[in-house]
């Protein structure tokens, strides 16, 4: 069927169609438009974002109350000028203090009758370590007893002869002979006592009433720990046998090998910090020895640091790192090294701001492990998180992950 439209009807239909197209374009443009934003819009959106509550968010900002920060272990400090130490780090090892280590020998041959000390035992000075029966000691004590009795007889004879001589009954020659015999008996007693003293045995405790003459007690020379034990019950030992090794571990040595280039830094009397490799511990010590010669193979000189060891934490054989201060320099702005964290591969310091903390990028200078020089990014007097910064970094990462979703 053919439909014929007049001119007015055609114009009306065309007008309605055009109006519909324009309306559709307007609806699509204001509704689900996918037109990319302009650069200015991008910058504005990047600089300021709105959270679900309509609050403005700043990149790197972590909102945290003072109570929440305290609960997280955050400690606030102030960036300030400081002195940065330059150190030389050298590997080392804990050794016995050889000046306080003794190799105990009997000094008399004999048979072991008792062993009263064990490996690892702490002993006191004068404590009995072992008992041996020695025929040589018996002979020495017998000689002392004989000399003491001869001295007693010589003294009595001298006193009698002196009385007779003063009463003109005896000749002066008899008196002088008695006096000489008394003096010689005194010398014999002193000689016998010194021989026993050299052997480490006292003559005061001899006699049948105070024990056998052949009983020899081996005693600890000082307070220390039994490190080695080479003696068993019933064993025959020689006078030079190394039966015990005792060391006073209240002080130890940290031995290091010093390259020739660092000998100007490592000097006797200087201070050094010793850090354990196996656990978190450090101690201050004094350099007590620097070798005068270099090793032919290593081309290094030996040095040692004396350490106090009251808790026995520094055990011989422990590997350590020794840091010796080689110089110091002043820095206008420093922070504690524990405050520095890495966010997006950049070092940052969490600066305290209103209602939270701001991760502030910084440029680092030298550090001595305790303080770090801040070249750029932070001014002196700025409050920052000296402790607990890792917790803040973790919380910041959680917030970033939450906004991405």
Instruction: Write the secondary structure of 204-224 as one string of H (helix), E (strand) and C (coil).
Output: CCCCHHHCCCCEEEEECCCCE
End-to-end CA distance of the chain: 61
Do 195 and 139 fall into the same domain?
yes
Q: Is residue 43 part of a domain?
A: no
More confident call, 2 vs 384: 384
DSSP conformation class of 338: G
Residues 233 and 356 in one domain: no
Answer yes or no: do 231 and 124 share one domain. yes
Check which CATH number belongs to the domain holding 338 and give it.
2.40.420.20
Of the segments 44-58, 158-172, 200-214, 345-359, which one has the largest average pLDDT value? 345-359
Tens-digit pLDDT profile for residues 296-341? 888 899 999 999 988 888 989 999 999 888 777 888 999 988 889 9
Same domain, 235 and 372: no
CATH number of the CATH domain containing 224: 2.40.50.100
Whole-angstrom CA distances from 388 to 68, 74, 76, 339 are: 12, 4, 9, 8
Domain boundary among 328, 354, 371: 328
298 and 311 co-located in one domain: yes
Q: Are residues 107 and 149 in the same domain?
A: no
348 belongs to a structural domain: yes
Same domain, 178 and 234: no
Q: How confident is the model at residue 157 (pLDDT cuts 50, 70, 90)?
A: confident
Same domain, 342 and 297: no
Report phi then psi at 163, rounded to 5. -65, -40
Q: Cβ distance 110 to 134 under 8 Å?
A: yes
Q: Do 127 and 224 belong to one domain?
A: yes
Beta-ladder partners of 371: 336
Residue 121 sits in the same domain as residue 189: no
pLDDT in tens, 159-188: 888 888 888 887 888 888 888 988 998 998
d(CA 333, CA 239): 68
Query: What confidence tens digit (pLDDT) does each residue in 248-293 have?
Result: 999 999 999 998 888 888 888 888 889 998 888 888 999 999 988 8
- CATH (domain of 200): 1.10.287
Q: Cβ distance 370 to 386 under 8 Å?
A: no
Q: Which residues fall within 8 angstroms of residue 99, CB to CB, at 6 or more apart?
A: none
State the pTM of this model.
0.56
* Domain of residue 312, residue span: 87-98+248-328
């Amino acid at each position: 069927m053919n439909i014929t439209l007049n001119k007015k009807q055609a114009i009306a239909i065309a007008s309605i169609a055009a109006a519909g197209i324009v309306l559709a374009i307007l609806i699509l443009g204001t509704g689900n438009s996918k037109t990319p934003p302009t650069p200015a819009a991008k910058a504005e959106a990047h600089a300021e974002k709105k959270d679900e509550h309509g609050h403005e968010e700043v990149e790197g900002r972590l909102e945290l109350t003072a109570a929440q920060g305290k609960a997280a272990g955050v400690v606030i400090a102030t960036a300030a000028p400081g002195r940065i130490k330059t150190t030389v780090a050298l590997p080392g090892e804990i050794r016995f203090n050889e000046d306080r280590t003794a190799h105990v020998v009997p000094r008399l041959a004999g048979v072991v009758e008792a062993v009263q000390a064990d490996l690892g035992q702490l002993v006191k000075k004068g404590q009995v370590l072992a008992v041996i029966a020695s025929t040589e000691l018996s002979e020495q004590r017998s000689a002392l007893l004989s000399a003491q009795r001869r001295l007693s007889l010589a003294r009595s004879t001298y006193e009698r002869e002196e009385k007779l001589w003063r009463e003109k009954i005896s000749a002066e020659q008899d008196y002088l002979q008695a006096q000489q015999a008394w003096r010689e008996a005194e010398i014999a007693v002193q000689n016998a006592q010194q021989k026993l003293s050299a052997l480490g045995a006292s003559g005061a405790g001899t006699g049948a009433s105070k024990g056998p003459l052949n009983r020899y007690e081996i005693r600890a020379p000082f307070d220390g720990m039994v490190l080695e034990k080479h003696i068993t019950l019933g064993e025959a030992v020689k006078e030079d046998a190394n039966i015990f090794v005792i060391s006073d571990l209240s002080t130890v040595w940290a031995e290091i090998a010093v390259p020739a280039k660092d000998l100007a830094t490592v000097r006797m009397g200087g201070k050094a910090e010793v850090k354990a490799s196996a656990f978190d511990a450090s101690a201050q010590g004094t350099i007590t020895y620097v070798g005068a010669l270099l090793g032919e193979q290593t081309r290094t000189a030996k040095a040692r640091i004396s350490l106090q060891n009251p808790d026995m934490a520094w055990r011989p054989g422990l590997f350590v790192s020794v840091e010796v201060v080689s110089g110091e320099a002043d820095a206008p702005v420093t922070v504690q090294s524990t405050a520095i964290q890495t966010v997006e591969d950049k070092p940052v310091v969490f600066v305290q701001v209103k209602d939270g903390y701001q991760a502030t990028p910084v440029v680092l200078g030298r550090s001595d492990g305790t303080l770090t020089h801040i070249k750029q990014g932070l001014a002196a007097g700025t409050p920052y998180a000296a402790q607990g910064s890792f917790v803040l970094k973790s919380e910041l990462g959680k917030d970033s992950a939450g906004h991405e979703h």
